[in-house]
Structure 1
Amino acid sequence: CQQWGFERLVPCIDEMTAKCTYRTTIIADSRYTHMISNGDIAIPRHRLAKGHPFSYASRFLHPHSDAEERDSITYENTTTPMAPYLFFLCVGTYDSFQRRFEYPSGTSFLLELLCPPGSDQIRAEQALDILEDAILWVYLFTGPHCYEQVEIRHEIYRLHNKAVKLRKCGADDEDLLRITRRMALLDQELVGGYIYTGSVYREIGIQNSNFGGMENVGNTTISTNRLMPFAGMTDSGFEYLMRVKLHEYYHNLNGSEVTGETPFEIWLNEAVTVHIEQQYHAFHFGEEYSRLQMILSLLDPADGTFARDTGAAAMPIEPDGFNDPNDLITSVTYVKAPEFVRMVELILGKEPFVWALSLYHRKFAHANASRDDWISLMGSIAGMDLGPMAEGWLKRSGFPTVTVYPSYHPNDRSCTVRLLQSGGDPPWCFPFRLALMKADGTKIVSKCHLVQHAEEEIIFEDVDSPDYYSLNRGHSFYGLLDYHPDEALLYLQARTDPDIAGRFLAFHSLSSQEILHLMQDPGAAPSPDFIALYIDLLSDPELMEGAGAQILTIFEDAGDPAYAHHYLAAYHARRSLELAIATSHAPTLLALYRAYHQTDHTWDSIGGLAVFIRNRQVKNLCLRLLARLDTPEVHEIIKNQFRNSPVSTDRMHAFSLLIASTDPERLELFREMMDCARKDPVVWEQFLAATAGSDADDLVSLLREIEESGYLRIEQANDQRAFYGRFARNRKISIETEEGRSFLEDALLRLMDVNEYTTTGLLTTFSHIDRMDETTHIPLMDILANLLKRASSPTIQQSLKRIILGNPTALATYQSLKGPVPDLAL
């Protein structure tokens, strides 16, 4: 159930503060392998006599033939009262895979994975490996003492992994006993983090779900396509898999044992959990890679959190109202809110923060906590009132833009950094990390400054003159910088800044300048200096090993509001820039591609796989750049990877390049891929997303062919997200071309009657109409007005009204030509 969902099943007081006990009896067809609910088994599963009487209501709602064999089982959840939204009931047929998880102390509980019938046992065991790793990591590397005895914690982690591998190899019991005794001794020297209190922790695959996972107090549901590391899973899918397993498990503590008071505070359950999830990801993939991945998700001009947080559909983290609790399941809750938590951590410091978090979990164990409870507790540890900061970040949308004016004074060897923030009244409160840097990347001095006013100065005394300034290090605050140093300084910083956020922001500034230049003058040549920088960074093995090729992301972003949301023009500018890189450095790109191509692997560990994932990023970036040449020779390289690579990521990347090329076999390969993918739900989802996000000139005709194939299942949330959702975000086609708009409107009209959550998500595509080319205003408003006329769902109606009214310029133009849009009042 989602918040306020249980009341749709039974008459009850369905509030998050209504902690209830449950006695649940399930009666179902005997052929189902599993009948599950919350709590412990009170009456074991047993066969009912034929003709067993049901209640009158049950007979009315669910008539059964007396000839059917039925089983019954009763669960009781009475020890710890539970909020209704955590109620869970499952009847289905699954393959079950089990193992015991044992803490270093020797206490244990059962892990169970419920998978589709016929699932691969090896893949299921790998899924349990990942879950086991996440549970151990939570115990060792979270909690109030997690920064103490760090070497012992890592040694226990190493020994546990060694024991797991030896057990799989059928090692001698004495060898395993020696390891477990050693772990137990080491465990006595530290205080661990959260320990699961149940007897069984179960993950259950759910094929058709709006969400990746849902915690249900020991019965976690996870989207089946992300339940196990299937052979058809791409690298991004694997990263999501390991994140969601940790995320839902940690919800047992943060979200179930301690629950927000109302759905308005769903961020309180999610933000801290995502914060821990990100630390787990960084543990395996490295802090640079993990943090940069998050920064990219903020900055993406098409679908990033900053773009969503400024559009007509923007909502604050804690809104004053909503149509449905599902309205709160957005990037604001899962990205912006965790960034707020991260800012609080920066203010407190890492060790005080984990102490405060532990105190929060102890104080409100098996109870509800409000936003004020969390903020007050954090403030008491920080020694300051965090209430005004929280009010600003939680109750309004948007973010600060900070203009920076640094100056050095050689007479007294002081440096002043003046900050002016805009975007909020009262001003935003946030930590601002900065450093004065030498040309070789050596840090002169650094500081984390708490910004609380619209204008502030940061003064460094008795310091050498810096060669450049590294600002918003680690992306310390949720917002943007308005800082324009000389171009030479940006090139210097992009080459030498040891802070990955500062280094990328310098590169991003330079790439945005190139995009702007090419948008203003499409026939111009890209800068040779930028191309040289790009190749130098790509050729740096240490950088690629740490950050991955994602640091070389060139957004379709000119960095100028006047050119924002001109998607097709920005795409052509990026394409010209990448073509110039490929044309001038094709031999280098080919050599790098071949060097990184030798990275195919078999499963060993999460950390080992992380290395291969970063390597594949580099390889596939080189291939994408070479694909801009669109020559027969390059086509053959791409087809070779498509046909022969054993890794799904490589095959899917090659496929997306092929269908956007002029290769004469592209349509044949497209149909071949469709026929292959339809047999595997995981591959099918990847195929839909790769096609819908393609740059192919005939994209809409390809999408209509998929629709007409009979393989697309519009009722399936995975298909909706991968196909229609990915196409909607492909704005250069979906909303800037006539055939794209027609396809999108048709899709939305059908989806409105199938899934309102998916539909409202797709509607955010229209958030920035006012900032688009004026020629699009009438056709886009026409789509929204037509959808509003046809919509029956109050949630969809309200979302449409917010977006229409949030684009007043386009609305005025539309109404001046076509008359008023009826029923626009919110």
Structure 2
Amino acid sequence: MRTEQPKMIYLKDYQAPDYLIDETHLTFELFEDHTLVHAQLIMRRNPERQGEQAGALPPLMLDGQQLELLSLSLDDRALAPGDYRLDDSHLTLQPQQARFTLDSTVRIHPESNTALEGLYKSGTMFCTQCEAEGFRKITYYLDRPDVMSVFTTTVSAERQRYPVLLSNGNPRATGSEEGGRHWATWEDPFKKPAYLFALVAGDLWCVEDVFTTMSRRDVTLRIYVEPENIDKVQHAMDSLKKSMRWDEEVYGREYDLDIFMIVAVNDFNMGAMENKGLNIFNSSAVLAKAETATDAAHQRVEAIVAHEYFHNWSGNRVTCRDWFQLSLKEGFTVFRDAEFSADMNSRTVKRVEDVAYLRTHQFAEDAGPMAHPVRPDAFIEISNFYTLTVYEKGSEVVRMIHTLLGAEGFRKGSDLYFQRHDGQAVTCDDFAKAMEDANGVDLTQFKRWYSQGGTPRLAVEERFDPQARRYSLTFRQSCPATPGQPHKEPFVIPVELGLLDAAGRELPLRLEGEDSAQGGNRVIRVTEAEQTFTFLDIAEKPLPSLLRGFSAPVKLSFPYSRDQLMFLMQHDSDGFNRWDAGQQLAVQVLQELIAAHRRGEALVLDPRLVEALGTLLADDSLDQAMVAEMLSLPSEAYLAEISEVADVDAIHAAREFARRSLAEALYQPLLARYRANRAESQRVAYAAEAGQIARRSLQNIALSYLMLSGKTEILEACLDQYQHCDNMTERLTALAVLVNSSFEDEKAKALGAFAEHFKDNPLVMDQWFSVQAGNPLPGGLERVQALMGHPAFTLKNPNKVRALIGAFANQNLVNFHRADGAGYRFLADQVIVLNALNPQIASRQLTPLTRWRKYDEARQGLMRGELERILASGALSSDVYEVVSKSLA
């Protein structure tokens, strides 16, 4: 932990390293109470720096934390303590020549490493997490992404405890040692930075398969898990093979090693890690079968397996020069995995899910104290910048390039990018330059998306001249101030649009200055603070369908009436905009109810919302997954995000009133849909495929509405679904709606039975925790506090923390934000404890408190007070210090 104020690191201060590491040879001796790490580094002066620093060689400063140095030699000459300098973070020494070999031995303690960075124990298994700066907790090294080396790794351990010994690359040799130990050597022929290093040792079983690449090479595929989970990995294996084929077909990227491995571990700070050839996954991102994982979990496994595999090129073969460029690999790869998921499932539903998440959470991040550009200018702790802005907004930036260039142009650009920079550590500018050069375009102004933070706002006005048959749209863009950036220059905003006539048909579009119409759907580029586009030959006033497919991550405002929104819901050819029109209609209705509740008036639901959703339920031709999405009202978190001052009590009351009113008005069509879909679910065996997922999603949202009626027939249907289903999707939904109901006896029985049945399955118990943490009924905090004493809960496991504490603070707004501030005190208490155990997880739990400015004056004071208490609590990690200090600034 740090007691002094941590140092800010700036992008403008980047300098290439003084030295490079050509070869890295590592030997690990794993024991129960310590580990010895022997490192031999073949190093040389960086030729890029020789011209800058002529004369004597500069000192070599290696990164290292929590290491006990046992020996050190330079070119076979043992160094005495007077030959080098050690502090808490670095080992500094003076090379005597431009090329040299450095040997070291250190002792580390993975068995007591609760931060889960570097080498640590997850249960009985050794594993690593080195991104972003975990490798410096393994050995002294140039732990930065622009130092790329060829790694050879030997792992030695007790054979009986650790029969499986893994590292990056291809297996090269194995052997036995005295005392019941054995060893294995792995060689990775491709240069990589230290953050992509991986090691695993444990008693593991594996599922093995083979993938034949487009050049007819056979690649061995292995997924390693603890023995009790061997029956839960086939879906991940199928997803991996789909990913490999898709990357070949869409991007022309072929896998390059002889073997590709995934290992599932229970204790992991993130979702997964793309270490070259040896991906280490949070078990929640690998393990899935019908009885224990929901449809959403199956889709998450498919997406994360794809994401980490796609990193083999967009992140590993071509990596980022420095951590400010993190979105170079993450934004690009999130876009790639989103496109893969869209191709594997429903493209429209995938887009709806991604945009709903972006608007609710990333837009809130853009409006908060931790707001930063996709490429940040500065940071204190890099772990705090694995953010929605870098990942999700970064993906939207890549998507906009794809929209502007078209699929063919984007492929040309990505081909050039991989060809030009294979084996290099590069920047976001290098990515943009490849896109420019491959397509003959200028992206200079577009790159403001990388350098300017905040969510742009796009206000649109219309003007129609029936005599001249001219229809004009005027766009005005602006972007609020964000920390360190009070003024923003205009962005390039691609707006995909269409114009609908009175019958809902798309009009042909001809812009002023064009000779002929170019179809009914097109992309225009808004590049100025104010810009007007005029369409010719428009005989009647049209209704614009704007920002189709959410073509840019902006807040769009256009004065749609509720009747116009209903029209778009029924007629728009763009599936995303049909959903979005429904969301806008629901927001208008809900905001009206929120205002009425605050004035103490009786609540009355606009019948147009009932009519619109009733029409959806009656149309059997619609995609059931889309109907389910459109039946889902905007979340309380989203309603809070778009509020000037978030009144959580009024938001909760208004939304619950709307749900109950809809349940009552649409009871019969909801019941008909539920019964039909439930009957079909009982007729067929579970499969995690798009058609079944769509059917279950509509079935389950119908049940959640119907349960609000409190009718005995619905309770019986809910209990029947809970007790007589073959999959976790139906069982968990039935449990959740029961938990959120007033049927106390049935609720208690179901919770007890669920916990007893799944007590030996940690991931399922995480879902059990989350269902209760999200229950909005009174007493939520007390329920969560009681659950912290449950035998299945521990603060040392990140999944447990997210499932209980994170779910409560981020999803159960009405209980977390209760007026006495007890929810805030609870979260602050947990952050203080977690700060000492796992700083990364501690800082990520802080997010709800950082948004204190969003609430009323009384709650602001309570939330700010808890942040101040955390700041004064003692020695804070740099992770927590950065978030708290910026939140209070």
**Aligned partners of 2:247, 2:686: CA distance in 1, in Å?**
17
TM-superposed deviation, 1:563: 5.0
Moved more, 374-383 or 510-519: 374-383
Match of 1:796 in 2: 880
1:501 and 2:501 aligned: no
Q: TM-score, with normalisation over the residues of structure 2? A: 0.79
Task: Check conservation: 1:659, 1:696, Cα contact below 8 A.
Answer: no
**Aligned partners of 2:309, 2:685: CA distance in 1, in Å?**
23
One-letter amino acid of the structure 1 residue matched with residue 671 of structure 2: L
One-letter amino acid of the structure 1 residue matched with residue 469 of structure 2: R
- The partner residue of 1:515 within 584, 587, 590 is 590
**Aligned partners of 2:730, 2:609: CA distance in 1, in Å?**
28
Gaps of 5+ in 2: 1-129, 481-487, 508-519
**Aligned partners of 1:539, 1:637: CA distance in 2, in Å?**
22
Task: Check conservation: 2:345, 2:690, Cα contact below 8 A.
Answer: yes
Higher strand proportion (structure 1 or 2)? 2
Match of 1:133 in 2: 242
Match of 1:214 in 2: 273
Match of 2:729 in 1: 649
> Partner of 2:228: helix, strand, or coil?
coil
> Partner of 2:305: helix, strand, or coil?
helix
TM-superposed deviation, 1:382: 4.1
- The partner residue of 1:282 within 332, 339, 342 is 342
**Aligned partners of 1:71, 1:599: CA distance in 2, in Å?**
54
- The partner residue of 1:414 within 454, 470, 474 is 470
Match of 1:154 in 2: none
TM-superposed deviation, 1:662: 1.1
Residues 561 and 72 of structure 1: CA distance in aligned 2, closer, same or farther (over 3 Å): closer
Match of 2:192 in 1: 82
- The partner residue of 2:691 within 597, 611, 618 is 611
> Partner of 2:378: helix, strand, or coil?
coil
TM-superposed deviation, 1:752: 2.1
**Aligned partners of 1:503, 1:458: CA distance in 2, in Å?**
23
One-letter amino acid of the structure 2 residue matched with residue 360 of structure 1: Y
> Partner of 1:727: helix, strand, or coil?
helix
| Count of aligned pairs between the two proteins | 729
Task: Check conservation: 1:339, 1:477, Cα contact below 8 A.
Answer: yes
1:256 and 2:316 aligned: yes
TM-superposed deviation, 1:484: 1.2
One-letter amino acid of the structure 2 residue matched with residue 82 of structure 1: K
One-letter amino acid of the structure 1 residue matched with residue 457 of structure 2: T
- The partner residue of 1:47 within 176, 185, 189 is 176
Residues 2 and 558 of structure 1: CA distance in aligned 2, closer, same or farther (over 3 Å): closer
TM-superposed deviation, 1:83: 1.3
1:782-793 alignment, distance < 5 Å: 782-791=865-874, 792-793=876-877
TM-superposed deviation, 1:635: 2.3
Task: Check conservation: 2:616, 2:627, Cα contact below 8 A.
Answer: no
Task: Check conservation: 1:401, 1:481, Cα contact below 8 A.
Answer: yes
Match of 1:443 in 2: 506
**Aligned partners of 1:464, 1:733: CA distance in 2, in Å?**
54
1:118-267 alignment, distance < 5 Å: 118-121=228-231, 123-140=232-249, 142-143=250-251, 193-230=252-289, 231-267=291-327
Match of 1:539 in 2: 618
Match of 1:734 in 2: 816
Match of 1:637 in 2: 717
Task: Check conservation: 1:632, 1:663, Cα contact below 8 A.
Answer: no
1:319 and 2:429 aligned: no
TM-superposed deviation, 1:403: 0.8
One-letter amino acid of the structure 1 residue matched with residue 175 of structure 2: H
**Aligned partners of 1:562, 1:205: CA distance in 2, in Å?**
41
Higher helix proportion (structure 1 or 2)? 1
Residues 561 and 75 of structure 1: CA distance in aligned 2, closer, same or farther (over 3 Å): closer
One-letter amino acid of the structure 1 residue matched with residue 149 of structure 2: C
One-letter amino acid of the structure 2 residue matched with residue 17 of structure 1: D
Match of 2:7 in 1: none
1:624 and 2:707 aligned: no
Residues 441 and 647 of structure 1: CA distance in aligned 2, closer, same or farther (over 3 Å): farther
**Aligned partners of 1:376, 1:105: CA distance in 2, in Å?**
29
Residues 305 and 244 of structure 1: CA distance in aligned 2, closer, same or farther (over 3 Å): same
C-alpha offsets along residues 216-255 of structure 1, whole Å, 9 cap, x if unaligned?
1111111112213233111111111000111111111111
Residues 604 and 564 of structure 1: CA distance in aligned 2, closer, same or farther (over 3 Å): farther
Task: Check conservation: 1:400, 1:421, Cα contact below 8 A.
Answer: yes
Give every structure 1 segment of 4 or more consecutive aligned residues whose post-TM-superposition deviation is greater than 4 Å: 557-564, 601-606
TM-superposed deviation, 1:564: 4.6
Task: Check conservation: 2:617, 2:669, Cα contact below 8 A.
Answer: no
1:551 and 2:630 aligned: yes
Match of 1:292 in 2: 352
> Partner of 1:388: helix, strand, or coil?
coil
**Aligned partners of 1:798, 1:7: CA distance in 2, in Å?**
21
Match of 1:37 in 2: 167
One-letter amino acid of the structure 1 residue matched with residue 527 of structure 2: Q
Match of 1:527 in 2: 606
Match of 2:365 in 1: 308
**Aligned partners of 1:197, 1:605: CA distance in 2, in Å?**
35
C-alpha offsets along residues 629-656 of structure 1, whole Å, 9 cap, x if unaligned?
2333332222222222222111111211
Task: Check conservation: 1:408, 1:414, Cα contact below 8 A.
Answer: yes
> Partner of 2:380: helix, strand, or coil?
coil
Task: Check conservation: 2:261, 2:277, Cα contact below 8 A.
Answer: yes
TM-superposed deviation, 1:560: 9.4
Match of 1:270 in 2: 330
Match of 2:17 in 1: none
Task: Check conservation: 2:364, 2:641, Cα contact below 8 A.
Answer: no
**Aligned partners of 1:746, 1:261: CA distance in 2, in Å?**
38
Task: Check conservation: 1:347, 1:382, Cα contact below 8 A.
Answer: no
Task: Check conservation: 1:376, 1:387, Cα contact below 8 A.
Answer: no
Task: Check conservation: 2:400, 2:494, Cα contact below 8 A.
Answer: yes
**Aligned partners of 1:679, 1:785: CA distance in 2, in Å?**
40
**Aligned partners of 1:601, 1:594: CA distance in 2, in Å?**
11
> Partner of 1:569: helix, strand, or coil?
helix
1:594 and 2:723 aligned: no
- The partner residue of 1:72 within 183, 205, 215 is 183
TM-superposed deviation, 1:623: 0.9
Residues 640 and 387 of structure 1: CA distance in aligned 2, closer, same or farther (over 3 Å): same
Task: Check conservation: 2:383, 2:879, Cα contact below 8 A.
Answer: no
> Partner of 1:389: helix, strand, or coil?
coil
Percent identical pairs in the alignment equals 23
C-alpha offsets along residues 372-402 of structure 1, whole Å, 9 cap, x if unaligned?
1111221233433212321x21223212111
> Partner of 2:454: helix, strand, or coil?
coil
Moved more, 10-19 or 664-673: 664-673
Task: Check conservation: 2:145, 2:320, Cα contact below 8 A.
Answer: yes
TM-superposed deviation, 1:87: 1.0
> Partner of 1:118: helix, strand, or coil?
helix
TM-superposed deviation, 1:433: 1.2
Residues 718 and 17 of structure 1: CA distance in aligned 2, closer, same or farther (over 3 Å): same
- The partner residue of 2:156 within 14, 18, 27 is 27
Task: Check conservation: 2:293, 2:728, Cα contact below 8 A.
Answer: yes
Match of 1:491 in 2: 566
1:448-467 alignment, distance < 5 Å: 448-467=523-542
Residues 234 and 737 of structure 1: CA distance in aligned 2, closer, same or farther (over 3 Å): farther
- The partner residue of 2:393 within 323, 336, 344 is 336
TM-superposed deviation, 1:11: 1.5
TM-superposed deviation, 1:467: 3.7
C-alpha offsets along residues 239-297 of structure 1, whole Å, 9 cap, x if unaligned?
11000111111111111001111111111011111111111111121211111111111
One-letter amino acid of the structure 2 residue matched with residue 5 of structure 1: G
**Aligned partners of 2:671, 2:539: CA distance in 1, in Å?**
43
One-letter amino acid of the structure 2 residue matched with residue 617 of structure 1: S
**Aligned partners of 2:642, 2:182: CA distance in 1, in Å?**
64
Residues 222 and 464 of structure 1: CA distance in aligned 2, closer, same or farther (over 3 Å): farther
1:762 and 2:821 aligned: no
1:476 and 2:551 aligned: yes
One-letter amino acid of the structure 2 residue matched with residue 276 of structure 1: R
Gaps of 5+ in 1: 51-68, 144-192, 806-826
Q: TM-score, with normalisation over the residues of structure 1? A: 0.85
TM-superposed deviation, 1:105: 5.1
